[in-house]
A and B are shown apart, each in its own frame.
Chain A
C-alpha cells in the first residue's frame, strides 16, 4: 500500500478518494456534519417550496408572535414572527441561500487565490517569496472584521461585495499554510528523485508537490467555509451585507438584538442555525483532516 503511494502519486490521488470518503463517513461526527450541510443546501435550493410563508410579507397585526409552543403562539407560525410580522421560520429557510452561496463561492475563491500564491511563494523562493510574505505580514496587521467592514463600505452593500471582502481578507489563511507545507514537501526525497529523473520545475510543482499539498488545502477549504459564513453574518449584523429584500441570518440577528427584551426568538433561532452550520463545517474539516492524515504522512 505504502509502495503504491510513493511511486505514483497522481494515481493514488484518484484511487485513494473512495477510501477517504469511506473513512470520513465512518466517523459519526463527520458524517452527521456532512448530513447537516447537505440539509442546508437542500433548504437553500428549495427555499420557496419549503418555506411556509413569504419571508418578506409584513403584517403588523401579527407582530412579535412567540413560537408556537408558548402562550400566545399561532399554529401557522412555528418559530414566531419578528416586529414587522414576518415569519421567522420562512426567513430562516430563505436566509440559508446567502449562507450557502457565501460558504461555497467565497471560500472556494479565497482558497484558489491563497493556495496559488502560497504554492508560488513556497516553490519560487527568493524575491517572489519575500514579496508575497511581506504582503501576508501587512494583511495580518489588520483586524479582519474591521477590514471586511471597510471593504464592504467601499464596494457598496451587496452579495458580490461580501464575497469579494471575504476573499480579499481570508486568502492569507491558505497562503501561509500552503507555503509552509510546500517548503516542507520540497525537502523530501521524492523531489530529489524527480529532479534526478529530469522533471521540469513546473512539472514537479503540479505533478509531485500539489497532489501532496491538496489534502491539506481541502481541510482548510472546509474550515474556511465555516469562517466565511460567520463573516457574512457579522457584516449583516453591522448592517452592511445584503439588501433588506433578501433575508440573512446575520440581519435577523441584528433585528433580534434590537428587540431582545421583547422577542428573544427573533435572535435565538438564527443564532442556533449559525452555530450548527459553523460547527458542522468545522467538524467535517476535522474529520477530513483525520481521514486524510495517512495520505499526508505518506
Chain B
C-alpha cells in the first residue's frame, strides 16, 4: 500500500520534471547574449566561433538541441559546462553535498528552535512569556532569509568578530577529506576540531535559513499543542496526576506533530530554495552559489543541470514529508 503510493508519486514527478526541463530549456535559449561570443578571446575569427558553436551544438535547431540534451539526461549525461569546461553532472555532484549539509543543519536548527519555543509557549500559555514568544515570532515570520543573513554578518561577523563571514572552511587549516560531505565525514571519523571549524562557517548561513522556518514551526506547532491540550485524554492524564510538562511532552506533542508536518512541507522547499541567495551572501561553495555564477556566465548546460537538480530535490523533499506524515498519522497508517 505504502510502496504503491510512493511509486505513484514518483511516476507523477516525471511529467513535472519534464516540464521544468522544457521551461528552463526554452527560457535560456531566448538569451540575447551569445555564450560563445563571451568565451572566445577578442579578435577570434568567424571560423573559430563557428567551430565552437558546433562543438557545443549551439548551431543546431532548438528541437534537435533539446532532443540531444534529453537523450543525454536519461543516461545521466548532462553535457559539459561552457564556462568551467567540466562535466556538468560531476560539477553538480561535487557541490551538492555542501548545499545538503547546509540545508540539513538549517532544518535541524529550525526544528529545535521552532519546537522548543512552541513547547515553552504552550506550557506557559496565557502568561507574559507566551505573549513575548508570539511578538518575536510575528516579526520573524515577516523577515526573509536574505535580511537575516546580512544582519547576522553584521552582528556576529563584523561588530563582534566572532564568526567567519565567508567560505566553508578555513583554507589555511589545510584539511583533507575523502568525500564532499565534510561535516558528516569529520563527525563520523571523530575529527571534532575539523567539525568545529566547519560549523563555525556554517552557523550563520544555516541560522539565516532556519529562522523563517522556525517561526512557521513555532506558530503551527504551538497552536496544535494548545488545541490538543483541550482533548479528553489530557483531562484523563491530569486526573491520573501527571504534571503539565509531562502531559505536554508524553501525550500531546506526538498528536500535535501531525498537522505541523503537513504544513511544513512547502516551507522546507522554501528553505532549500533560499540556499541560492544565502550561499551567495556567505560565498559558500554550494550549488546555489554556482547557479548564480552559471547564470552570469550564460553557462547553458550548467544552468539546466542545476535547475533540474533543485527540481529533483524539491520533489524528493515533498515525498519525504508526505511519507513522514503518513507514518505519524494513525488515521492514514491503518487505512
Is B31's CB under 8 angstroms from A146's CB? no
B139 within 8 A of A: yes
Closest chain B residue to A238 by CB distance?
A: B292
In angstroms, how far is the closest chain B Cβ from the Cβ of A129? 16
B84 within 8 A of A: no
Is A154's CB under 8 angstroms from B139's CB? no
Interface of chain B residues 1 through 59 with chain A (CB within 8 A):
15-17, 19-20, 23-24, 27-28, 30-32
The interface size of chain A toward B, counting residues with CB under 8 Å, comes to 41
Interface of chain B residues 136 through 176 with chain A (CB within 8 A):
138-139, 141-144, 146-147, 150-151, 153-154, 157-159, 165
A267 within 8 A of B: yes
Is A226's CB under 8 angstroms from B142's CB? yes
Known: A140-B314, A141-B16, A156-B32. A146 touches B143 (CB 8 A): no
Known: A137-B16, A141-B311, A150-B303. A257 touches B150 (CB 8 A): yes
B298 within 8 A of A: yes
A138 is contacted by which of B19, B157, B159, B280 (Cβ under 8 Å)?
B19
In angstroms, how far is the closest chain A Cβ from the Cβ of B265? 11
Known: A151-B27, A260-B153. A140 touches B32 (CB 8 A): no
**Complex Cα gap A150–B294 (Å):** 9
Is B295's CB under 8 angstroms from A271's CB? no
B69 within 8 A of A: no
Q: List residues of chain A with CB within 8 A of the CB of B275.
A: 143
In angstroms, how far is the closest chain A Cβ from the Cβ of B305? 12
A92 within 8 A of B: no
Q: List residues of chain A with CB within 8 A of the CB of B314.
A: 140-141, 143
Q: List residues of chain A with CB within 8 A of the CB of B274.
A: 143, 145
Known: A151-B27, A153-B295. A140 touches B150 (CB 8 A): no
Interface of chain A residues 115 through 167 with chain B (CB within 8 A):
134-135, 137-138, 140-147, 149-151, 153-154, 156
Is B295's CB under 8 angstroms from A143's CB? no
B220 within 8 A of A: no
Q: List residues of chain A with CB within 8 A of the CB of B295.
A: 146, 149-150, 153
**Complex Cα gap A86–B303 (Å):** 36
A230 is contacted by which of B23, B144, B159 (Cβ under 8 Å)?
B144
B307 within 8 A of A: yes
Q: List residues of chain B with CB within 8 A of the CB of A146.
A: 273, 276, 288, 291-292, 295, 306-307, 310
Q: List residues of chain B with CB within 8 A of the CB of A137.
A: 16, 19
**Complex Cα gap A117–B277 (Å):** 29
Is A154's CB under 8 angstroms from B20's CB? no
A104 within 8 A of B: no
**Complex Cα gap A283–B135 (Å):** 11
In angstroms, how far is the closest chain A Cβ from the Cβ of B301? 14
A271 is contacted by which of B17, B150, B266, B311 (Cβ under 8 Å)?
B150
B296 within 8 A of A: yes
In angstroms, how far is the closest chain A Cβ from the Cβ of B4? 21
Q: List residues of chain B with CB within 8 A of the CB of A188.
A: none
A268 within 8 A of B: yes
Q: Beta-carbon contacts of A244-262 to B below 8 Å, as 1s and 0s?
A: 0000000001000100110
A44 within 8 A of B: no
Interface of chain B residues 274 through 308 with chain A (CB within 8 A):
274-277, 280-281, 288, 291-292, 295-296, 298, 303, 306-307
Is A253's CB under 8 angstroms from B276's CB? no
A279 within 8 A of B: yes
In angstroms, how far is the closest chain A Cβ from the Cβ of B310? 5
Is B288's CB under 8 angstroms from A282's CB? no
A275 within 8 A of B: yes
Is B277's CB under 8 angstroms from A234's CB? yes
A213 within 8 A of B: no
Is A134's CB under 8 angstroms from B307's CB? no
A292 within 8 A of B: no
**Complex Cα gap A253–B280 (Å):** 13
In angstroms, how far is the closest chain A Cβ from the Cβ of B253? 27
**Complex Cα gap A184–B275 (Å):** 35
Q: List residues of chain A with CB within 8 A of the CB of B20.
A: 138, 141-142
Is A230's CB under 8 angstroms from B146's CB? yes
In angstroms, how far is the closest chain B Cβ from the Cβ of A263? 11
A264 within 8 A of B: yes
A96 within 8 A of B: no
Q: List residues of chain A with CB within 8 A of the CB of B141.
A: 282
B272 within 8 A of A: yes
List 26 interface pairs A-B (beta carbons < 8 Å), by A numbering. A134-B16, A135-B19, A138-B20, A141-B16, A141-B310, A141-B315, A143-B272, A143-B273, A143-B288, A144-B273, A145-B273, A145-B274, A145-B276, A146-B288, A146-B310, A150-B27, A150-B295, A154-B27, A237-B146, A238-B277, A238-B280, A253-B150, A260-B153, A279-B139, A283-B138, A286-B138
Name A residues whose Cβ lies closer than 8 Å to a Cβ of B: 134-135, 137-138, 140-147, 149-151, 153-154, 156, 226-227, 230, 233-234, 237-239, 253, 257, 260-261, 264, 267-268, 271, 274-275, 278-279, 282-283, 286
Known contacts A141-B315, A227-B144, A279-B139; 17 additional CB pairs below 8 A are A134-B16, A134-B19, A137-B16, A141-B16, A141-B310, A143-B288, A146-B276, A146-B307, A146-B310, A153-B296, A154-B27, A154-B31, A154-B32, A156-B32, A234-B277, A238-B277, A283-B138
